[in-house]
Amino acid sequence: MTSHTPAHPTSPRLLAANLVNAVLLEGVSLTASLANLRASHSTHSANDSRDIAAAQNLAYGVLREAGRLRFFLARLTQRPLQPIELTGHLLVGLHELDAELSPAYAAVNETVSVAARRYPFARAFVNAVLRNFQRQRETLVKAVQQNPEALWNFPNWWLRRLQAEYPSDWQQIVGQLNTHPPMILRVNLRQTSRADFCAQLTNARIEYRLPENDPGAAAVILTTPIPVSELPGFAAGLVSVQDLGAQWAAPMLDIHAGMRVLDACAAPGGKTGHLLECAALDVLALDSDANRLRRVRENLERLGLTELPAANIRLLAADAGKPALWWDEMPFDRILLDAPCTASGVVRRHPDGKWLKRAEDMQHLADEQSRLLEALWPLLKSGGKMLYATCSLFQAENSEQISAFLARHADARIEPVNFTSQSKAELISTRMMPTTLIPTEDMDGFFYARLLKT
Ligand SMILES: C[S@@+](CC[C@H](N)C(=O)[O-])C[C@H]1O[C@@H](n2cnc3c(N)ncnc32)[C@H](O)[C@@H]1O
């Protein structure tokens, strides 16, 4: 952001303050707030687009560091803010000062001026808080060491859980979950080879590297994230954006052409697309959210997968936990249950998730996951396989969920996945069987269990 941008009506600082308030005060996800923001600027100019992108960066930065920034704010104000909406303005200003994103005088002056446009009576207060931060900065930064939530930028309940479940890895995990995630692509091997796509990247002077631990052999990691519109062949479906850990699902499901496959929680269709890129399947893709399901169709169309010879694709908005309402009684060869979860493994992509989820949400989600497992198991053929997946690191949603399921079902057993043995030992936590992918530089946190019906 340039420090001299005047505070015009769509100032990034104002938009960012609104985004931060929506997450921290109203409990609205950043994805939903950003979608609303873009929709309200649907006829936007290039300036608006730049402002929204700058606001997005600021809001992501604040939410990544919200433990630390809220600690500063509490120390600097001592009383509840009046009005509470000053929170967003002050956190954005503190973030700019703390991370030294712009010269300090500009960060202070412009935060004050944007906040005062809305709350003229608060001008002196906002100015005093930010100037006090500058004066007390050294003491405040030292005090962070004594406060785990401020030090690690995670809620305490989350830290306690990770410490208990990953006693030797939790610091590495938290460190990774606080980083900026890489942009990872999945090449559509139906349309091109990875080598040919990489040649196009080279021609376009886009730097990339190939990851290890890539069972689908379709992943490419960009050195610097770029808008998808700048990717060669994106609109023509040569490539998708998908984390490397998510790219493990399709190879793990062990699919072959012609199989009848249920993708039970499919939207926005990242894994549905990958499955169809690997084999011409008879797929039923369900999602309970009809709006999100529309994105599955859009993605499959862009990838050129809706007209695949020998494939059959049906999309249905339905509750996967109520098959009586949609199942035709024909058993499936394969079921992918990419279950709704806390998404605790992907918070570097969605840092608002750290502050939106409560400890009690995890139990509700675990109950929902076991409801879905129970409802879908009878739909699998004998000899068929179900892949249970989450993007969570919490055992209540992962290994504990699967152990309880195995205890309830004598006809279910875990089927080992051979390609894990080719991967780097430290990436695969064998202590947490079946397979927990601990977040690394190249991969978000995921969990997979492949269940065979005997
Ligand atoms: C982790 S996301 C799925 C991501 C998707 N598989 C992909 O790779 O792009 C979980 C999805 O489950 C859907 N969902 C939640 N409860 C559901 C239910 N009872 N039946 C069907 N879908 C459900 C949510 O709407 C959400 O789209």
pLDDT in tens, 13-57: 999 999 999 999 999 999 999 999 888 876 667 677 889 999 999
DSSP lists the bridge partners of residue 437 as 428, 446
CB 239 within 8 A of CB 185: yes
Domain residue limits, the chain: 12-151, 183-241, 246-453
Quick one: average pLDDT of 276-288?
Answer: 97
Question: What is the C-alpha separation between 75 and 139, in angstroms, rounded?
Answer: 11
Say yes or no to pLDDT of 219 above 50.
yes
Say yes or no to pLDDT of 444 above 70.
yes
pLDDT of residue 156: 97
What CATH superfamily classification does 183-241 receive?
A: Sun protein; domain 3 (3.30.70.1170)
Atom 15, ligand 1: residue with shortest CA distance:
340
pLDDT of residue 3: 40
pLDDT digits (tens, 9 = 90+) for 52-65: 999 999 999 999 99
pLDDT of residue 41: 77
Quick one: average pLDDT of 279-286?
Answer: 97
The answer to whether 12-151 and 246-453 have equal CATH topology is no
pLDDT class for 117, splitting at 50, 70, 90? very high
How much distance in Å is there from the Cα of 288 to the middle of ligand 1? 7
How much distance in Å is there from the Cα of 298 to the middle of ligand 1? 16
> Does domain 12-151 match CATH 1.10.580.10?
no
pLDDT of residue 43: 62
Q: Name the strand (E) or helix (H) holding 385.
A: strand 380-390
Say yes or no to pLDDT of 418 above 70.
no
pLDDT digits (tens, 9 = 90+) for 143-152: 999 999 999 9
Q: Is the CB of 286 under 6 A from ligand 1?
A: yes
Q: Is the CB of 295 under 6 A from ligand 1?
A: no
CB 322 within 8 A of CB 288: no
pLDDT of residue 425: 37
Ligand 1 nearest-atom number relative to CA 269: 9
CB 30 within 8 A of CB 67: no
Cα 252 to the center of its chain, rounded Å: 21
| CB neighbour list of residue 165: distance below 8 Å, 6 or more residues apart | 393, 394, 395
Ligand 1 nearest-atom number relative to CA 319: 20
Q: Is the CB of 376 under 6 A from ligand 1?
A: no
Atom 19, ligand 1: residue with shortest CA distance:
319
Choose the CATH number for 246-453 among 3.40.50.150, 2.102.10.10, 3.20.20.70, 1.10.10.10: 3.40.50.150
Say yes or no to pLDDT of 175 above 90.
yes
Atom 13, ligand 1: residue with shortest CA distance:
265
pLDDT class for 429, splitting at 50, 70, 90? very low
Question: What is the C-alpha separation between 348 and 351, in angstroms, rounded?
Answer: 5
Residue 265 annotated as catalytic: no
Q: Which amino acid is at 328?
A: D
Residue 216, both tokens: 């689908």
Length of the chain: 454
DSSP lists the bridge partners of residue 336 as 263, 387
pLDDT-above-90 percentage for the chain: 85
Atom 12, ligand 1: residue with shortest CA distance:
265
DSSP helix/strand/coil, 387: strand
Say yes or no to pLDDT of 188 above 80.
yes
Ligand 1 nearest-atom number relative to CA 249: 8
Which of 367, 428, 376 shows the shortest CA–CA distance to 397? 367
